[in-house]
């Protein structure tokens, strides 16, 4: 057997060994993920995962003077782990948010995106008054940091009051951007 044939056989053995090692790595990396969900506790069933359930439903959102601002649908997705919001304003604005309780950080998180390319990353939770309060920072004009704070307050009549305020001075003063009351359109 000449050197050329030995090199070919060695390359084939190496290729076979690489294939086996790759298969073992892939199997080893996915087995724990499959095993975690097989017969174990169902994810997202802790009480904290239900703190924002008062917002679930199909809503008509009205301003303080009773004018309809738009509609909003909030549903549970991904096995009940995510609250998904779909907003449609009467003026043509649209947006969507994904809301999830993060047990590692013990906080609720919202990622909001809209038709203007605005991105909000908010964190928080239920306050002592039973309101969901989420807050986050984003870059503003001229290098100013904008702090967004959005609260959702469930009312006894089944409506939900939402207030979105912003601060450009690290929370010393606030300006209200939106105040709306959610009225259920239909049972969800």
Give the 3-state DSSP-derived string for 132-176, with helices as H, strands as E and coil as C. EEEEEEEECHHHCEEEEEEEEEECCCCCEEEEEEEECCCCCCCEE
- CA gap 45, 53 in Å, rounded: 12
Distance (Å, whole) CA 24 – CA 27: 5
pTM (two decimals): 0.77
Q: What are the boundaries of each domain within the chain? A: 1-40, 47-186
Please give the pLDDT value at position 79.
92
CA 155 from centre of chain = 24
What percentage of the chain reaches a pLDDT higher than 90?
A: 74
Task: Specify the CATH class of 47-186 in words.
Answer: mainly beta
Query: By the 8 A CB rule, do 132 and 126 touch?
Result: yes
The tokens for 40 are 């174990």
Burial label for 123, CB within 10 Å (0-12, 13-18, 19+), is: middle
- Residue 101 is predicted with a pLDDT of 97
Could you read off the pLDDT of 15-39 as tens digits, one per residue?
A: 444 343 334 334 444 444 444 455 6
The pLDDT score that the predictor gives to residue 20 is: 39
pLDDT of residue 54: 97
Query: CA nearest 62: which of 188, 187, 183?
Result: 183
Q: Using an 8 Å Cβ cutoff, are 128 and 140 in contact?
A: no
Integer Cα distance of 180 and 115 in angstroms:
20
Question: 8: number of CA atoms within 13 Å, CB side?
Answer: 5
Q: What is the pLDDT of residue 78?
A: 94
* pLDDT < 70 positions in the chain: 1-40, 186-188
């Amino acid at each position: 057997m000449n050197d050329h044939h030995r090199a070919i056989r060695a390359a084939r053995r190496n290729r076979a060994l690489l294939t086996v090692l790759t298969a073992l790595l892939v199997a080893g990396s996915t087995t724990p993920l499959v095993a975690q969900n097989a017969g174990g506790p169902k994810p997202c069933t802790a009480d904290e995962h239900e703190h924002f359930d008062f917002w679930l439903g199909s809503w008509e959102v009205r301003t303080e003077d009773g004018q309809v601002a738009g509609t909003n649908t909030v549903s549970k997705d991904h096995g009940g782990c995510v609250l998904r919001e779909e907003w449609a304003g009467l003026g043509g604005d649209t947006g969507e948010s994904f809301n999830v309780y993060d047990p590692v950080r013990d906080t609720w998180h919202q990622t909001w995106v809209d038709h203007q390319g605005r991105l909000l990353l908010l964190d928080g939770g239920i306050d002592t008054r039973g309101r969901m309060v989420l807050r986050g920072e984003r870059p503003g004009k001229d290098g100013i940091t904008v702090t967004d704070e959005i609260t959702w307050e469930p009312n006894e009549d089944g409506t939900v009051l939402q207030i979105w305020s912003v601060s450009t001075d690290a929370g010393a003063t606030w300006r209200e951007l939106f105040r709306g009351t959610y009225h259920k359109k239909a049972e969800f």
